[in-house]
C-alpha cells in the first residue's frame, strides 16, 4: 500500500556521499524537525531525470527555500557513488541532497516501487515528489507511468 498525505515517513536508512565518504542518513535525521521536499525518480543519468527533473529542482532551489523549505532531496534506487557522480555531472552543489536507496528499502516502505525489468532496470522508484513536514507527508504528487507533470519543481512550489 502506498503512503498517503498525513502518514509518517517510514524509518529507513539511506546512503549519501559526504567529504568523509559514504555515510548513512536515517529518515528521522533527514525529515525530523524540518520541512523537506523529496523527489524520487527511476534512475540517475536517465533521459527525463537528467534533462528535466533534477535540473528543475536545482534551478528552483532558492524559490523553494524562500517558501520555508529547509532541504531538497533527490532519491533514486541507485548506489551512493552513482548518485554522487550524477550530482557532480548536473552541477547540483549544495542545492539538492543526492540520496541513494540502493536496495529500494525506502521505496518499498513507501509503497512506490515499480517494476523496471522490461527496461533492464529491475526494481526502481516511481517518479514522485512530496513535501514532508517534521516526518509527516503534507503533499504527495505521484506521476502516471511515463509522465512528468505533477512531480516537477514548479508543481512542488505550488504544494509547499
Q: What is d(CA 124, CA 76) in angstroms, rounded to the nearest whole number? A: 7
Question: Which residues are designated catalytic?
Answer: 49
- The answer to whether 128 touches 4, Cβ cutoff 8 Å, is no
- The answer to whether 76 touches 100, Cβ cutoff 8 Å, is yes
DSSP 55-123: HHHHHHHHHHHHTT--EEEEEESS-HHHHHHHHHHTT-TTSSEEEE-TT-HHHHHHT-EEE-GGGT--E
Strands 35-41 and 71-76: parallel
Amino acid at each position: 500500500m502506498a503512503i498517503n498525505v498525513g502518514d509518517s515517513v517510514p524509518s529507513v536508512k539511506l546512503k549519501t556521499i559526504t567529504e568523509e565518504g559514504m555515510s548513512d542518513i536515517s529518515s528521522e535525521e533527514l525529515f525530523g524537525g524540518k520541512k523537506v521536499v523529496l523527489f524520487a525518480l527511476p534512475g540517475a543519468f536517465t533521459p527525463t531525470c537528467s534533462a528535466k527533473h533534477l535540473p528543475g529542482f536545482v534551478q528552483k532551489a532558492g524559490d523553494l527555500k524562500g517558501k520555508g523549505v529547509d532541504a531538497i532531496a533527490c532519491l533514486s534506487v541507485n548506489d551512493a557513488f552513482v548518485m554522487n557522480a550524477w550530482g557532480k555531472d548536473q552541477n547540483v552543489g549544495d542545492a539538492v541532497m543526492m540520496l541513494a536507496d540502493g536496495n529500494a528499502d525506502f521505496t518499498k516502505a513507501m509503497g512506490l516501487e515499480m517494476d523496471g525489468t522490461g527496461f533492464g532496470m529491475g526494481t526502481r522508484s516511481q517518479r514522485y515528489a512530496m513535501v514532508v513536514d517534521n516526518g509527516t507527508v503534507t503533499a504527495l504528487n505521484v506521476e502516471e507511468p511515463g509522465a512528468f507533470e505533477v512531480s516537477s519543481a514548479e508543481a512542488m512550489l505550488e504544494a509547499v
